[in-house]
Amino acid sequence: MRSPKEISIDSKIIETLEDFHFSEKKAMKIAKLVIEDNEIQAIQEYGNVVSIKRLGYNDHGPVHMRTVALNALIMLKILRDANVKMSLECEEAGTFEDSLIAVMLASFLHDIGMSLGRQDHEMHSAYIAFSILDRILAEGLADSPHDMQRRVTIRSLALEGIAGHMGNRAVYSLEAGIVLIADGCDMTKGRARIPMSLAGAPKVGDIHRYSANSIEDVRILKGAEHPIRIEVEMSSEVGLFQIEEVLLSKISASTAKGYVELYALVQGEQPKRYL
């Protein structure tokens, strides 16, 4: 069963998709299939149990994956408004809506490999996601022209976004690069709340919890010099660790780096620009 937080993010995802005004409305259909899919919900929830209770990490469950999807959609809208073409469009292999579907699916499924454990979870996510992607795309694109080619293209692009979301494997499409950054942007204190409350004796990696707990908000806006402006607002400078070790490294590894401005806003201090 979806939590109130999940339902709230789902509503924002649907509202954001409506702003694209796709005539075919395949993205909307697939979004609703994903949101209502029992297998996806179950594996997201169990992945979060493994992440938080077994391993002591922060949220890697349904709220996180929905947040990444929403972040990615916001960035896609900004890029589209700036007339930036996606890789599928440049390669004449698909439409903008195809790219959006791939990014959305990758975002919803990128951490399901946490159900097995942290090590190589991005690759575990990719092979677990394969059959889910096939099933969702078969239903969502059932009456599309060139159905098989379209399904294979979107599936491949989504798998690239899933496998590359940690930033330790090269990604080559702009779409996969957007997933990378969208994932890095989910680092507010709400994501650290559960492991902070469960924390006992300090463990290796606790700096991630405490740095995330100082981050008040992450805003994805229209930029001035580049299309996308990311603002990270924090209550103390410990949050700079989260920016420098997590978000900045993911942006640096992303094919979308050239489209991004990054600012840190520590309360009571001048904004710090990274990119």
CATH number for the domain harbouring residue 118: 1.10.3210
| Residue numbers of the chain with a pLDDT score lower than 70 | 145, 190-210, 212
Closest to 262 measured CA to CA, from 254, 270, 251, 253: 251
Looking at residue 138, what is its pLDDT?
95
Is residue 96 located within the same domain as residue 210? no
Is residue 109 located within the same domain as residue 195? no
Domain boundary, last residue among 184, 200, 218:
184
Sign of CA pseudo-dihedral 246, 63, 72, 222: negative
Q: What residue type is 188 in one-letter code?
A: T
Is residue 57 located within the same domain as residue 20? yes
Is residue 57 located within the same domain as residue 149? yes
CB 115 within 8 A of CB 45: no
Is residue 170 located within the same domain as residue 217? no
Tell me the CA distances in angstroms from 130 to 114, 121, 125, 198, one per residue in order: 15, 14, 9, 33
Backbone angles phi, psi at 272, to 5 degrees: -110, 125
pTM over 0.85: yes
Looking at residue 107, what is its pLDDT?
98
Q: How many domains does the chain have?
A: 2
Looking at residue 202, what is its pLDDT?
47
Is residue 83 located within the same domain as residue 174? yes
Domain boundary, last residue among 154, 169, 184:
184
User: Tokens representing 144?
Assistant: 């599309």
Looking at residue 58, what is its pLDDT?
78
Is residue 178 located within the same domain as residue 222? no
Looking at residue 190, what is its pLDDT?
61
CB 224 within 8 A of CB 256: no
Q: How is 194-256 classified by DSSP, letter by letter? A: HHHHH--S--TTHHHHHHHHTEEEEEEEE-SSSSEEEEEEESSTTHHHHIIIIIHHHHHTSTT
pLDDT tens for 22-35 read: 998 999 999 999 99
- Host domain of residue 237: 189-273
Is residue 39 located within the same domain as residue 172? yes
CB 246 within 8 A of CB 212: no
Domain boundary, last residue among 149, 184, 219:
184
Q: Which residues pair with 229 in a beta bridge?
A: 221, 261
Is residue 130 located within the same domain as residue 204? no
Is residue 209 located within the same domain as residue 178? no
Looking at residue 245, what is its pLDDT?
87
Q: Which residues pair with 260 in a beta bridge?
A: 228
Is residue 47 located within the same domain as residue 159? yes
Return d(Cα 259, Cα 201) in angstroms, integer.
41
Looking at residue 37, what is its pLDDT?
98
CA 226 to chain centre: 20
Q: Which residues pair with 222 in a beta bridge?
A: 228
Number of H helices, E strands in the chain: 13, 4
Is residue 27 located within the same domain as residue 136? yes
